[in-house]
Structure 1
């Protein structure tokens, strides 16, 4: 019988290369699944809620003048009705914070953003920056402009 020079199977190095490609593919798939989980934690709904909130606040405060402020609240007067309003942080019992708006005479309140871990309010000449940290430890900044430079 005559021996053939051609082989009918895989050589060892071909099997090792196929195994390496399989392992790399599984590694990429695992990273993709972790990324997908991270994306689900930061939903589009939260981003949309943030932008709608900023637009609504900016529309309400566009012509307002700041009366006073500190790191937890801003008191402003709306020229349409000449009433003072307050944007402030409110601490819930379970270490969550709420950003809310209310009348300065303590009547009524409207929660703007809830379930926040931290809220910081800063004032610059005619710009207010509200920095928040949500439950996923993501930091966001909201910039609002006022009519005056107080």
Structure 2
């Protein structure tokens, strides 16, 4: 019986030690774009309110908006809600699958979250760019940890925008 209690105690310790802060290095992503678009003429954008899913907190939504706007501003784009060259639609998916990770000799289930951002021509409705990022995510993480994941996700999404000329 004492052996059983010891083993059970070790399993609990291993499981709890697996509840660590997130790693931004596990943020994966991809992007695609239209080759028929002249990206050099695009100068302004509008970031629409999040549609579909939700971020885990209003603070996360506000942080996402701030990081997207600053990321695009750093690339030379300006936010112009009245007359944008492209519209940005955002769909975060809180949890779309679980991934099992081996930590301290045990398996831990981590939900994977996805963030999908689509850039659309406002006059034609044609998608000109789409980026997606996914990462391990836990709603119990601190806001600082969530912000780190959002920062890494936006970096992955904007990595290919605007596409370089071939």
Shared fold (TM-score, shorter chain, > 0.5): no
Bigger share in strand: 1
From the CA coordinates, give the structure whose radius of gyration is larger: 1
Q: Tell me the TM-score normalized by structure 1.
A: 0.33
State the TM-score, normalizing by the size of structure 2.
0.30
